Structure 1
Amino acid sequence: MRRKETKNLAITAIFVAIFLLQTLIPNIGYIRILPTLPAITTIPLTVSIYSLLMGPIAGTFFGIFWGIARMVQAYTQPGDIVSLMLFQNFVIAVIPSVLAGLFPGLIGKLTAKKKNSIKEVSYTVAGAVTSLTNTVFVILLTSLVFMGNSAKLLGHLGSFTQGTPLITALIIALGLNGLVEAVFTAIVTPIIVTPLNKVLRRVG
């Protein structure tokens, strides 16, 4: 039991270190394409891999860590005005991150005893789900939070008229980022998780 706890603690420490590097070093965790819009983030890949390796509970806590870090970053060093407006809100910053940490762990748990080919497909699905969960819930929660005061946010999302529904503007402005993140995470997750699982089984 002590050996397993030590192994889990070591894995968590490694992933926290990777996460901090992604957060603190420019163009590793957040790749900025358009200066006025939120960056494409590679952090869902880290969250997906950790949750698949450690399970849904650990993944949820990692998601909480991500959400709080995202909110702190919005207050201390926001990369753009939209991120500042969105992620200074606790609900928008934390809830999508928590769910993004929970869902891949649940997928991994449900397919843990399946044959290897099914597991690899599930890792791909889990990677896509992690990114899409983050994007979809950020869009939905933002549209709810800013429902009564959308004009200011609309002005920073792009050239939208005042009559444009906020959720439509968010889907157009943030949707492409979300799709790129989802494809990237879906492709890379099984490439990393499959050999890591084999190594971890050997070390007990």
Structure 2
Amino acid sequence: MAKPTNMRTLVLTAVFLAILIIQVFVFPILGYLPLGAFVVGASVTIIQFTIAIGTIVIGTKQGMILGAFWGIFRLIQAWTTQGTLGSYMFMNPFTSIVPSIMVAVVVGLIARKAISSNKTSGRVGGFALAGALAAFTNTFFVTVFTWIGFNVMHFNGGTSGFKITTLGADFLPWFLSVIVGFNGIFEIIAGIIIVPLITVPVLKALKR
């Protein structure tokens, strides 16, 4: 199985980075699907599947770079579009960046075995698992760092952008965790479908 050359890796990384920019800043509907919780600034995130697919196609290292960029992008987005619970949560750089990078790390462990499979069913199953784990990883670490940010670090960077007194500081971590967890269920289902659906033909086109 031929590995991508350095030039092709660079080009593919740039392509995936451009897709991330489009999903975050140009057409957010392509990155965040509003399924009920959008009113309070939360939505089903599908950008982690871009990270997952990029990790599978061009490697874990490049996937981590893409994840870092996504984390920085949503940190910027949180600070520049204040006024929702979602933006308040991602104003913490740990919550924004660490989960994004961990998506690539976890997917990279699964993808290596899936790509080496000579059977289409093995690849599809591996990529479906990678998609589910991408969603779970993002949800898990976002929830963990949300709790750490509020309860341990006492992060309050978004106080000026959102009046948490309307809900109560003690209630907010619970409320956000429920929203993130609820959305995570739909994201796992979406990952099982989206990642193999896109990755398999992309790898065939790249003759891998």
Superposed pair shares fold, TM > 0.5: yes
Aligned ranges 1:34-73 → 2 under 5 Å: 34-73=38-77
1:131 corresponds to which letter in structure 2? A
Deviates more, 1:115-124 or 1:62-71: 115-124
| 2: CA distance, partners of 1:174 / 1:22 | 19
TM-score, normalised with respect to structure 1: 0.84
Say which of 16, 19, 29 aligns to 1:27: 29
Displacement after TM superposition at 1:17 (Å): 1.4
| 2: CA distance, partners of 1:163 / 1:13 | 42
Say which of 192, 203, 206 aligns to 1:197: 203
Post-superposition CA distance 1:166-186 (Å, at most 9, x none): 3x4333222121111121121
| 2: CA distance, partners of 1:164 / 1:92 | 19
**Counterpart of 1:14?**
15
1:27 corresponds to which letter in structure 2? I
| 2: CA distance, partners of 1:145 / 1:71 | 14
1:106 corresponds to which letter in structure 2? L
Post-superposition CA distance 1:50-97 (Å, at most 9, x none): 11111211111111111011101111224x522222211111111101
The percentage of counterpart residues that share the same residue type is 28
| 2: CA distance, partners of 1:184 / 1:164 | 29
**Counterpart of 2:93?**
90
1:118 corresponds to which letter in structure 2? G
Displacement after TM superposition at 1:162 (Å): 7.5
| 2: CA distance, partners of 1:75 / 1:162 | 20
Q: Give the ranges of 4+ consecutive aligned residues of structure 1 lying more than 3 Å apart after TM superposition.
A: 148-153, 161-166, 168-171
| Contact kept in structure 1, 2:110 and 2:126, CA below 8 Å | yes
1:75 corresponds to which letter in structure 2? W
Cα distance 1:17–1:164, how it changes in 2: closer, same or farther (>3 A)? closer
Displacement after TM superposition at 1:146 (Å): 0.6
Q: How many residues align?
A: 196
- Residue 29 of structure 2 aligns to a residue whose secondary structure is coil
- Residue 115 of structure 2 aligns to a residue whose secondary structure is coil
**Counterpart of 2:78?**
74
Compute the RMSD of aligned alpha carbons: 2.7
**Pair 1:129-2:130 in alignment:** no
Unmatched 5+ stretches in structure 1: none
2:135 corresponds to which letter in structure 1? S
Unmatched 5+ stretches in structure 2: none
Deviates more, 1:8-17 or 1:60-69: 8-17
- Residue 201 of structure 1 aligns to a residue whose secondary structure is coil
| 2: CA distance, partners of 1:60 / 1:83 | 23
- Residue 197 of structure 1 aligns to a residue whose secondary structure is helix
TM-score, normalised with respect to structure 2: 0.82
2:52 corresponds to which letter in structure 1? S
Displacement after TM superposition at 1:163 (Å): 6.7
| 1: CA distance, partners of 2:57 / 2:51 | 10
**Counterpart of 1:175?**
181
| Contact kept in structure 2, 1:55 and 1:106, CA below 8 Å | no
Displacement after TM superposition at 1:37 (Å): 3.2
